[in-house]
Structure 1
């Protein structure tokens, strides 16, 4: 099914990709390398595979922000919840394409909350988080009802900072980027942390029978055509 809402044309998507690629090399690629160094002790674990698949979609998914049922499968278009659903779905973990449902998945990680210090916000309790956890953010509807409006995948503490990969605004080449600053909106609007991965997901070498890597989804069409040859992810061998 085609996407129901797309925010840019192919020409606009290519222009955005080119305009932001140098910034991506200086920020996102650096953070990816720092993640791999900091978490090399869990390399190949289910949690690491989840984070690495999110990174793969950021680098090779050529995503454009938009909405629609299975819109990434049809056109390479996604929003925050569909990105999260896509990544975990590659490993047989069923989530939702609707952001407001994400506090119902898994179990809430206790002790993680927003806190304002002087002028700026921060997320306290990140020592309780693990790579592969889900983080959510709220917004208030016009009727005053508060719901989840954004979701992302926690990568871990990278260079000492909590780090999230998600759909991330207008200054990235594609729809996906990496967030490391929580001083303003990202801190104030933090809502919950959810753990959806099973126990031992952070131990390399374990076989998770129900969570086999099915490989990434390749869209039928692209709003943003691949700008470089696609390099498929290598499957980690588990023993």
Structure 2
């Protein structure tokens, strides 16, 4: 069964917030963590390096028991550090940013139903901006790139796009374009009441590509591409 890795997809959602300009250096060097200073009832961070929109970045991922009020804890901790917290809450978590007088920091809290833990993501750029990576698969022509995330060590590419096209139109395009590019569909998207939606999976040699298309109310529809394996 093919599943998009929750951590990587969640990071993309966190990083799809507006660009932050200069980002607060909340985390110290040498493994120090100035945010989680031992007072929070969370596991210490898993730290990974990625390239986000062409810019090297450090993403720190914490976990907490589902019963913990992690959103409130996060907000309180940022306010203790002097930030104004802007966030949008849902039943499954929150997303937003902590705004300091001249800088800001992005975050995401995920509380997936029926899971024993929740994840807290905190993101900061660590290098100079560069050119965002191009998708290693056909790119939907009527879409605007929102976020790209690459990990060259694992040959992983992930991107989100905004589009006015429906999920059905998107999946029809990829079913044709991926086949023409030598990919084989191994798991089709869901078809319900004549509408195609959800995720389709394609393979080509050692690579796997996930295409997810989502119709949203009150905003542009979203396309998510995840390619795993092989050189970017």
Per the TM superposition, whether the score is higher than 0.5 is: no
The normalised TM-score by structure 2 is 0.23
Q: Which has the higher helix share?
A: 1
Q: TM-score, normalised by structure 1?
A: 0.22
* More strand per residue: 2
